[in-house]
Structure 1
Amino acid sequence: MDIKPKSIKIADLINGYSNDVDTGVKGYGGRLDIRPPYQREFRYDIKQQQAVINTILNEYPLNIMYWSVGEDGNYEMIDGQQRTLSICEFFTHGFNIEDKDRGTLYFSTLTNEEKGKFLNYELTVYFCEGTDKDKLDWFRVINIAGEKLLDQELLNAVYTGPFVTDARRHFSKNGCPAYKLGADFLNGTAIEQAYLATVLKWAARHDGIAKVDDYMAQHQFEPNANKLWAYFVSIITWIRSTFPKYRREMKGLDWGAMFDEFGEGVYDTEALEKQIHDLMEDDEIMKKSGIYRYVLSGDLRDLCFRSFDKKQKREAYERQKGICVHCHKHFELEEMEADHITPWKEGGTTVAENCQMLCRNCNRIKGGK
């Protein structure tokens, strides 16, 4: 890759700036694509944006930016999007800075001297020429030293194409359709690619594909992500119809796996809700989120029960004189594990009277039955 440095004035950078959902983010007289498909979403908070502007007004140096040069003479932003958008949005009154003496300041309320300082500030930009692979490889390298790219952001870069572009429209932007439809059931935030990473994981597994990378590679050049979106909508619709009462324990569960396994079943939603309510009230169950899969599967392994404390274990051990009640051999306390005499499903609770000590081997055999 051929890399050449050049100084670009802010006045030239913001010339023709536009930030449009349909046409994208442009600058430098419309010749610079500030957010090409492999770029991350804008993530600077207000303090970070203000820090960029104060750096410029104090005439301190900003970090180097990287633009790639296209065959048509236009440019793509490889690195520097967050700083570039901070500059452009301040100029267009997207946010303000604070001055301890003058209070809130927008670009229009700066002095003429400050405006001139801002517009004439020179950014150091490295112009990079090479193949698409060169650009993406360079994109990876220069982000190692800066704010680390998230795994999903790197995958978006590697498998850039119409599928990823459309998927990001659905899952990766503030207020995106996925947020409006299913934020209650998803961990993380859309802008940090958590929603997209989750649904891609679900979809890959649904199609029998072990790695998300392979799934994205297979769909890279599809014209849109309609199938992915339809699958997500089906999952959320199933959740809401099967479990109409929302509880915070529903957030972040592996709903994709549950939908694939139980989505074709017919359930009595009122009976499910009563069962869930009773289980939520049960102090023996420690991991309440496991209740949702349990009411569908009936598998006790989906639940996590209260464990006996050290005092209860010691009392049972002394009562048994160190003898395992199954194999009748003697063991040290550290070689034994606590077990419920009467299981939870038969009404047993985690109290001293319901505790017995088994050797590890006997407890494993009992637990596997």
Structure 2
Amino acid sequence: MKIELKKIQVRDLVEGYEDNDELGVRAFGDKLDVRPPYQREFVYGDKQRNAVIETLRRDFPLNVMYWSVRDDGTYEVIDGQQRTISICQYVEGDFSIPIGGHQLAFHNLQQDQQDQILNYELMIYLCEGTDSEKLDWFKTINIAGEELTNQELRNAVYHGTWVSSAKKYFSKNNCPAYAIGSNYMTGSPIRQDYLETTIKWMNYGDVDGYMAAHQHDLDASPLWLYFQNVMAWVKVTFPKWRKEMRSVQWGSLYNRFKDADLDPVKLESEIATLMQDEDVTKKRGIYIYVLNREERHLNLRAFPDNQKREAYERQGGVCPVCQDHFELAAMEADHITPWHAGGRTIAANCRMLCKEDNRRKGGV
């Protein structure tokens, strides 16, 4: 790869700046693609964004940035998108920063203060090479910065028409997926959490396999349709929303139970009861349990050590199943009346079994 250092003034960088959302971000007289397909969305917070402008305002050195030279003589940002957008947004008047006890946008500055920022020289490395070389370089230089998520790296590896289409649905602030699924999802669209999660659901965990197979598809509408179906199924099956629903892997449940004959009224009645059960310590697991009946998802409250000791002494250290004697450490607590049959995690319902009998009883 050929690399050349070039100094570019801020006034030249911001010329022709346009942020057209899904259509991309342009600057440098329309010669710079600020957000190529492999780049993340804008993620700087106010503190980071303000620090960039303060660096320019004080004539402190700003970290070097890297642009790739395209065959047609235009450029694309390899590293420095966040800094570039921060600079352009400030000069455009999109935000203000604290200066001398006041919040001042660029247009509030005196002419000499504006000129000082516009004349600031940015250090840009211009890189020429193959697509693979540019992608490898992009990964390498980002290691020292804000670490890329796994999905951001996948977007780089499998960039193309499909990724560009998928990001419209899943990767923007207030994107369509966020609009209908934010109450049922965790993570951030702009850090690609929604996109990664949906692919995992649709392709049973194999994100790379799905993206490799569909890299050159013209659009991602099948994935978007799948996501809509999942959200519609959730809202019909579990019409009462609770905060615990954000942590449920809904796609996995949809894949397995979407054709099952489910009664939302009966499900809600059971869910409400389980939410009040003090033995159920993992409330989000209730939504899985009411469908597959596996108690492990509930993380049922364990007997405390004093109740175990009490039961052990009461039994004289003898396992009631095999009738052999064991030390306390070789035994495990068990519900006399099972939890699903109404047994509670209280001292009167505790007995100690040897590990072999207890695990045999539990089907392990």
Which category describes the TM-score, using the shorter chain as reference length? over 0.9
Q: Percent identity?
A: 51
Determine whether 1:368 maps to 2:363. Answer: yes
- Residues 60-115 of structure 1: per-residue CA shift (max 9 Å, x gap): 000010000000000000000000000000001111010134x1111111122211
Amino acid at match of 1:330: H
Question: Partner residue of 1:69?
Answer: 69
The residue that corresponds to 1:140 in the other structure is 139
Alpha-carbon shift at residue 302 of structure 1 (Å): 3.2
Alpha-carbon distance in structure 2 between the residues aligned to 1:134 and 1:345: 59
CA-CA distance at 1:320 after TM superposition = 1.3
In the alignment, structure 1 residue 162 sits paired with structure 2 residue 161: yes
Deviation of 1:22 (Å): 4.5
2:86 paired residue number: 86
- Which residue identity does 1:137 align to in structure 2? D
**AA partner of residue 179 (structure 1):** Y
2:283 pairs with 1:288: yes
Shift of 1:337: 0.9
CA distance in 1, matches of 2:282, 2:236: 23
Deviation at 1:258, TM superposition (A): 0.5
**In structure 1, what is the equivalent of residue 152 of structure 2?**
153
The aligned residue for residue 272 of structure 2 is 277
What is aligned with 1:131?
Answer: 130
Instruction: Please tell me whether residue 16 in structure 1 is matched to residue 23 in structure 2.
Output: no
Q: Does the 8 Å CA contact 2:34/2:81 hold for their aligned counterparts?
A: yes
Instruction: Map 1:293-308 to 2 at 5 A.
Output: 293-308=288-303
Q: Return the offset for 1:212.
A: 1.1
For 2:171, give the aligned amino acid: S
Cα distance in 2, alignment partners of residues 342 and 23 from structure 1: 62
1:145-294 to 2 correspondences below 5 Å: 145-205=144-204, 211-294=206-289
Partners of 2:268 and 2:86 lie apart in 1 by: 49
Question: Larger deviation: 130-139 or 22-31?
Answer: 22-31
Assess if the C-alpha contact under 8 Å between 2:247 and 2:284 holds in 1. no
**How far 1:325 sits from its partner (Å)?**
1.6
TM-score (norm 2): 0.98
Look up the equivalent residue of 1:200 and give its one-letter code.
I
**Whole-Å separation in 2 of the counterparts to 1:94 and 1:5:** 30
Number of aligned residue pairs: give it. 364
The superposition leaves residues 258-307 of structure 1 with CA deviations (integer Å, 9 ceiling, x where unpaired) of 00110001222111111111221222222121111222223333332111
In 1, distance between residues paired with 2:21 and 2:311?
67
CA distance in 1, matches of 2:244, 2:17: 44
- Match of 2:143, SS state, is helix
Q: Paired residue for 2:108?
A: 109
**Aligned equivalents of 1:11 and 1:241: distance in 2?**
54
The structural deviation recorded for 1:116 is: 1.2
- SS for the counterpart of 1:251 is helix
1:54 aligns with 2:49: no
CA drift at 1:336: 1.2
Which amino acid in structure 2 is aligned with residue 128 of structure 1?
C
- In structure 2, the CA distance between the partners of 1:224 and 1:143, relative to structure 1 (3 Å rule), is same
Range with bigger deviation, 291-300 or 244-253: 291-300
Provide the C-alpha distance between the structure 2 equivalents of 1:57 and 1:87, rounded to a whole number of angstroms: 11
Q: Following the alignment from structure 1 to structure 2, what is the Cα–Cα distance between the partners of residues 23 and 165?
A: 9
Conserved? CA contact 2:35–2:81, under 8 Å:
yes
Q: What residue number does 1:326 align with?
A: 321
Structure 1: tracts of 5 or more residues without a match? none
Gaps in structure 2 of 5+ consecutive residues: none
CA gap 1:22/1:197 in 2 versus in 1, 3 angstroms:
closer
In structure 1, give the amino acid aligned to 2:98: E
SS of 1:145's equivalent in the other structure is: coil
Deviation at 1:250, TM superposition (A): 1.0
For 1:326-365, list aligned pairs within 5 A: 326-365=321-360
Structure 2 SS opposite 1:191: helix
Native 8 Å contact 2:22 2:168 kept in 1: no
